[in-house]
């Protein structure tokens, strides 16, 4: 199991850094552009979900990207993010979260959110499809 | 600098004939370069150098000279103005460089886009970054950076609302979370209706019908990377609209 960890200021402008890192990992797995961009879109969504649920503008987004075989898992934590995002259960009644779930459903194999050590952490798992990618 | 209307028309008439000479075309272009500069200046606050904008405007001018048909009764300067403006708007819309992106990365992006679409055709699937990198003789990091740069865009204005009886909003929302569903629907519908028909269609194909980006590209007659860019912009617009609601 390999992993990369990033810690960036909690602001949308740093998402491109995260996208590049995710892209670099996906490239190591020889993902197709389709898969890579789906993964990047999904990670964007995950981070924006956290950013939009944070009450503080000073936190740092902790991003953990790990991969093994055909599987990439991304976990994003943001201390200070408060809204409950538990997967599929407790949409808090706001449009953006329902939209994010719908988008993630379409892009990745699994996604959800847990509280880890008191920090709200959103995660996703995406499996590369060998039948499509491999020559 | 600007030719008299008479000479402009005679140039136009000669241009329209099949025996267009390069000299005539060049004369039209040369005499209207001032117009290209003038129009380029109108976009000078968007983070691109004047020289670059003049280049884009000049491409529009050349196209205008190539396409001009005087029998339509429009003066060349009028026709050229609309063509040049179109080219400038197209430049900002499709390239959409949000900040000044280094020229080299822009060039990489163009190479990467071309290689990706060629390889997709050749391999009958979207290529990997490594395959694109090999085709362009770039490193995979260069390809990723170029793709990222290509994704940058300005959020377009939402001043062109569009509504249709069958909205994608009806389909984007499922029926889960019954308690919140009405409120969510109302928010999403309102936001979606502020997007253009193409953005709505893209979102529907990707997130409701769950077609892949390449399948959407095939269906809509554009490259997969273009779909990717439009999709990201559509989501950004949707978020902005939701934030406004």
**Which tens digits make up the pLDDT trace of A11-65?**
877 888 999 999 999 999 999 888 888 898 889 888 888 887 776 667 899 999 9
- Measured in angstroms, the CA of A118 and the nearest CA of chain B are apart by 26
Note the pLDDT of residue B168. Answer: 35
- In the structure, what pLDDT confidence band is assigned to residue B68 with cuts at 50, 70 and 90? confident
CB distance B80 to B11 below 8 Å? no
Whether B225 sits inside 8 A of A26 (CB atoms) is: no
Q: In chain B, pLDDT over 90 holds for what percent of residues?
A: 12
* Confidence label for B147 from pLDDT (cuts 50, 70 and 90): confident
Q: Where are the alpha helices (DSSP H) in chain B?
A: 5-16, 22-31, 33-41, 50-67, 76-90, 103-123, 129-136, 140-151, 169-172, 178-192, 197-203, 213-220, 224-244
Task: Using a CB–CB cutoff of 8 Å, tell me whether B134 touches chain A.
Answer: no
Q: What is the ipTM of this complex?
A: 0.74
Average pLDDT of the residues in B186-191: 70
Which of B119, B126, B179 is the best residue to mutate to test the A interface, defined by the most A CB atoms within 10 Å of its own CB?
A: B126
Dist CA B23 CA B41 (whole Å): 27
Kindly list the residues from chain A whose CB atom is less than 8 angstroms away from the CB atom of residue B224: 33-34
Q: Chain A contact for B5, CB < 8 A?
A: no
Question: What is the rounded average pLDDT of the residues B44-71?
Answer: 82
Per-residue pLDDT, averaged over A76-95, amounts to: 57
Phi first, then psi: what are they for B150, rounded to 5°? -65, -20
**For residue B153, what pLDDT is reported?**
37
pLDDT at site B164: 32
- Which pLDDT score is estimated for A77? 92
**pTM, rounded to two decimals:** 0.56
| H or E element, residue A26 | helix A15-28
Q: Which of the pair, A133 or A111, is modelled with greater confidence?
A: A111
Higher per-residue pLDDT: B163 or B34 = B34
Q: What is the mean pLDDT of residues B159-178?
A: 33
pLDDT at res. A110:
92
Picking from B116, B148, B210, the nearest residue to A33 by CB comes out as B116
Measured between alpha carbons, how far is residue A8 from residues A2, A12, A20 in Å?
20, 10, 13
pLDDT of residue B184: 58
Which three-class secondary structure state does DSSP give residue B156?
Answer: coil
pLDDT band of residue B157 (cuts 50, 70, 90) is very low
Closest approach of A102 to chain B, Cα-based (Å)? 7
pLDDT of residue B17: 44
Q: Which has more pLDDT, B28 or A124?
A: A124
């Amino acid at each position: 199991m390999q992993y990369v960890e990033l810690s960036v200021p909690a602001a949308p402008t740093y998402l491109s850094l995260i996208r590049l890192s995710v892209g670099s990992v996906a490239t190591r797995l020889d993902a197709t552009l389709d898969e890579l961009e789906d993964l990047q879109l999904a990670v964007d969504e995950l981070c924006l979900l956290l950013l939009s649920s944070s009450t503080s503008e000073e936190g740092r987004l902790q991003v953990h990207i790990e991969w093994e075989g055909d599987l990439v898992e991304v976990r994003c934590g943001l201390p200070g993010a408060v809204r409950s995002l538990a997967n599929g259960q407790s949409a808090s009644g706001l449009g953006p979260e329902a939209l994010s779930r719908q988008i993630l459903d379409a892009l990745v194999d699994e996604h959800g959110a847990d509280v880890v050590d008191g920090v709200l952490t959103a995660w996703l798992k995406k499996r590369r499809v060998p039948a499509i990618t491999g020559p | 600098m600007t030719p008299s209307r008479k000479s402009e028309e005679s140039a136009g008439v000669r241009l329209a004939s099949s025996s267009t000479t390069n000299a005539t075309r060049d004369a039209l272009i040369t005499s209207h370069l001032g117009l290209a500069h003038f129009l380029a200046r109108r976009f000078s606050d968007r983070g691109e150098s004047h020289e670059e904008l003049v280049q884009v405007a000049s491409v529009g001018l050349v196209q205008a000279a190539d396409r001009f048909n005087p029998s339509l009764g429009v003066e060349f300067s009028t026709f050229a103005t609309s063509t040049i403006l179109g080219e400038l708007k197209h430049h900002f819309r499709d390239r959409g460089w949000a900040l000044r992106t280094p020229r080299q990365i822009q060039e990489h992006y163009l190479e990467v886009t071309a290689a990706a679409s060629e390889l997709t055709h050749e391999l009958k699937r979207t290529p990997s970054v490594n395959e694109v990198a090999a085709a362009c003789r770039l490193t995979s990091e260069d390809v990723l950076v170029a793709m990222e740069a290509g994704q940058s865009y300005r959020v377009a204005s939402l001043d062109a609302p569009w509504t249709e009886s069958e909205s994608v909003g009806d389909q984007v929302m499922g029926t889960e979370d019954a308690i919140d569903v009405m409120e969510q629907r109302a928010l999403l519908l309102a936001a979606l209706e502020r997007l253009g028909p193409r953005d709505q269609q893209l979102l529907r194909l990707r997130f409701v019908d769950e077609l892949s980006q390449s399948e959407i590209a095939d269906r809509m007659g554009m490259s997969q990377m273009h779909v990717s860019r439009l999709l990201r912009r559509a989501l950004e617009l949707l978020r902005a609209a939701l934030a406004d609601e």
